[in-house]
Amino acid sequence: MSTPTTTSTTPTPTPTPAHSAVTATAGSRLESAQGKTTISDAVVAKVAGIAAREVPGVYGFGGGAARAFGAITERIPGGRASNTQGVSVEVGERQAAVDLTIVVEYGVAIADLARAIRRNVIGAIEQMTGLEVVEVNINVVDLFVPSDDDDQDQDQAPARPTHRVQ
């Protein structure tokens, strides 16, 4: 009968990096041994607004008062719509959260639209800024029906014909 022999192995120590600052910040593309990059809330909000506007089915942003103000601003010579209207963001060192207030075109499936907006906004922010987007909250506040704008045009036309046959 033979007696089993045991061999003891000692764990080999893991090598320690020469620059511990580099490994401590390896999770962030915005920080390195050469410096730190910060991105303002306004930049992230603008990226989110542009990305959300690219999705078909989004008619506008913001509540009624914000949209009215935006319409006036667009009519002023040299004025243009704000890319951050209806967009609110919270930006940390490595993460961002986005809140969107939108108006949806009638006939669009809102759940599908919300999914497409999230996908586009998250992709744009993460690709452009290197920040991780932890959430995109979407608040649908209105539904655009094309006949809503037609009402303004009808004010200039007669309400009904004066003579049926001429």
DSSP, collapsed to helix, strand or coil, labels residue 1 as: coil
Q: How confident is the model over 51-69, as a mean pLDDT?
A: 80
Asked whether residue 26 carries a pLDDT value surpassing 50, the answer given is no
- ∠ CA 127-128-134, rounded to 5°: 65
Q: What is the pLDDT of residue 17?
A: 41
pLDDT per residue as tens digits for the range 104-160:
999 999 999 999 999 999 999 999 999 999 999 999 999 999 885 555 544 455 555
pLDDT at 137: 98
Sequence letter at residue 24: A
| Contact criterion met (CB below 8 Å) for 116 and 55 | yes
> Is the model's pLDDT at 20 over the cut of 80?
no
Predicted confidence (pLDDT) at residue 40 exceeds the cutoff of 60: yes
